[in-house]
Structure 1
């Protein structure tokens, strides 16, 4: 059996390599050859994977750190990437040294707790570090950070139902796309697909904004209300809903399509597909569909589309399934 112990200098070298790989893999010009080289490095030693996971945590945390005023050049995505690269170097000693970490907590830079959570092929219920509960739908990814001034969730992908522990002095903020949902204690659902977000309130109240750069706290929802927005929207759209809203049916493993135009139904369907469906044209998108489907077998819904609608499926030039209306005779 091989000896897996490492000298301090070796640990430092692995940590440095993990940091470099984390930064490089997040660059848009990272090549396939580099990704293959990373895979070789990652599997060469169990410690490599452990250190790389730690770097991913730091990368996620750095999204929330206050940025220096001098980082202002270039578009927002470029500024965020620049700050995250700098934060990797700055956050390592803060997290590694207890005294520095305490100072970082007092400044609101370093969370006292951090969780990265994911649901694969089954719904998962988790308890967050503050005692709140989150029910994660299939394929959902999110992170939770407990800072001095607030509790922060970053919804990376998917959908989650939150039961938030009440703490008026320590608000709970969910970041989704370019918006945020701010609460102190309540029950609500957040659905996200690409840059589209839908917030459904069951109990309590929440403040929803579609643009995190706005100084306003956003629009207030009361129970039975829903907010929708896309990244870049100035304000969310507010509408009435009801307790047993179709948006909550996923908690019972169901996708409910309530006589929706295909254009509106497709994002709900695509959320569960590895390869999204694409509409051939606007006329096809106006066709309406209804029914209750199993979220674990959405492919059955896809295969049944030509049986319930006057459409046919083909492969588009990009290789994605294309939905087209049948020619009218």
Structure 2
């Protein structure tokens, strides 16, 4: 029998995954659907496989039908089980709640509002500036003429009062003996039971700022890349060996980068800034395209493809410094920030996040950092000896040809490249070449 449709599946696999992922918004679902499409083609038998004049079109048609079925099932499931809110004015009946439950939710909101109103004026002002306006504790302390410790104490006092009010509303036993550790997360969980309706309420505004409405943890393995669609139409492309957390709140979109590199395509939303915390930096945008890359030493590099990006020092405990501090980057600009050093802003004529297209660009980059980036794609560990890690390199490397690049490296730098060990102990070492005596 002819195997043309199956050959088309093999040759078009990656494109088909991308095609289905754009329709479903999930790469995992796309892989499942494409595999189901392959099974359908196999089960159709030789007659169907050989009779279709355009095997590729036939395969895409089968996948398209499966996508439609998948979306219909998802819609029916959503209608039965969806409990997520959609905007500030969502009604209780839209959430599938009865009148009694709606009254209970409003009572909880009233309890939180009353607790906030009963706070001393300074304490209330500091708490709202911290939780609603996102001001740093350093800036709050300066505005009130007090120490940062005083600000921390007053914010904790306000959180205690709100937590006690919600526990009292729920009828819980006394909570004075509960540990303070994790209080911020506990407050978010308690607000979660009181976060529906009453758009003018302070409790509702706290809910929007504290409780995530959508979140996901993303990670990639060695040599693997991933593109994740976002619920607002944006996307994040992850380089190999990258890990980050994404959380959407009513008033902000937040990403915590742990390691690796990512390219962000951010849908514009002036009411919900997009914030990325990476190393010493906090990057804030409204809608743009940019890359953030962390190195093994905790340094960070920000490169802008289009739009404007604001970079600030995260400061102590993750709080940003005063809003007047920081750096604004525009298209084709970069900021390199190594721990303990002054950030360096520069123009960037190269392609932003070239790894998306299989390349790495090195512009006077220390050899140690360059090899760390290459190591994300190879199964054999690589290391640079201390005497060679500060040598600088300039050029462009195709990721697929990294091994050839390493072999040619001694022609441009005074180094030797050695491959040592076998099996799991195998590794590549780059050391400075000793001068001939």
Find out whether 1:178 has 2:277 as its counterpart.
no
- Correspondence for 1:111: 212
Label 1:287 to 1:155 Cα distance change in 2 as closer, same or farther (>3 A). closer
Distance 1:83 1:151 in 2: 27
Aligned to 1:198: 301
Query: 1:17-56 maps to which residues of 2 (within 5 A)?
Result: none
Q: Find the aligned partners of 1:84 and 1:179 in 2 and give their Cα distance.
A: 26
- Go from structure 1 to structure 2 and tell me whether the alpha carbon gap of 1:71 and 1:137 turns closer, same or farther (over 3 Å shift): farther
> TM-score when scaled to structure 1?
0.62
Tell me whether 1:151 sits opposite 2:253 in the alignment.
Answer: yes
CA distance in 2, matches of 1:237, 1:123: 28
Cα 1:104/1:250, change in 2 over 3 Å: farther
CA RMSD of aligned residues (A): 3.7
TM-score, normalised with respect to structure 2: 0.48
Distance in 2 separating the partners of 1:143 and 1:323: 34
CA gap 1:186/1:272 in 2 versus in 1, 3 angstroms? same
Secondary structure (helix, strand or coil) at the match of 2:335 reads: strand
**The residue matched to 2:305 in structure 1 has which SS?**
strand
Confirm or deny that 1:262 pairs with 2:367. yes
Say whether the 8 Å CA contact 1:311–1:326 is kept in structure 2: yes
Secondary structure, in 3 states, of the residue corresponding to 1:153?
strand
Task: Flag structure 2 segments of 5+ consecutive residues without an equivalent.
Answer: 1-129, 138-150, 156-178, 421-425
Residue equivalent to 2:264: 162
Quote how far apart the aligned CAs of 1:324 are.
Answer: 2.0
Q: How far, CA to CA, are the matches of 1:267 and 1:222 in structure 2?
A: 27
Greater shift in the superposed pair: 102-111 or 143-152: 102-111
Consecutive unaligned residues in structure 1, runs of 5 or more: 1-63, 73-81
Q: How does 1:64-75 map to 2 (within 5 A)?
A: 69-70=152-153
Question: Once structures 1 and 2 are overlaid, which stretch shifts more, 202-211 or 298-307?
Answer: 298-307
Distance between the aligned counterparts of 1:209 and 1:112, measured in 2?
26
Report how far residue 201 of structure 1 moved. 0.7
1:311 aligns with 2:412: no
Report how far residue 320 of structure 1 moved: 8.0
When you count helix as a share of all residues, which structure comes out higher?
Answer: 2
Partner of 1:139: 241
Aligned match of 1:286: 391
Please say if residues 359 and 396 of structure 2, whose CA atoms lie closer than 8 Å, have aligned partners that are also in contact.
no
Bigger shift: 218-227 or 115-124?
115-124
Deviation at 1:131, TM superposition (A): 2.4
Offset of 1:92 from its aligned partner?
Answer: 5.0
Shift of 1:104: 7.3
Q: Secondary structure at the match of 1:149?
A: coil
Q: Which has the larger radius of gyration?
A: 2
Q: 2:314 aligns with which of 211, 218, 233?
A: 211
Residue 263 of structure 1 and its aligned partner are, at CA, apart by 4.8
CA distance in 2, matches of 1:131, 1:286: 42
Equivalent residue, structure 1, for 2:108: none
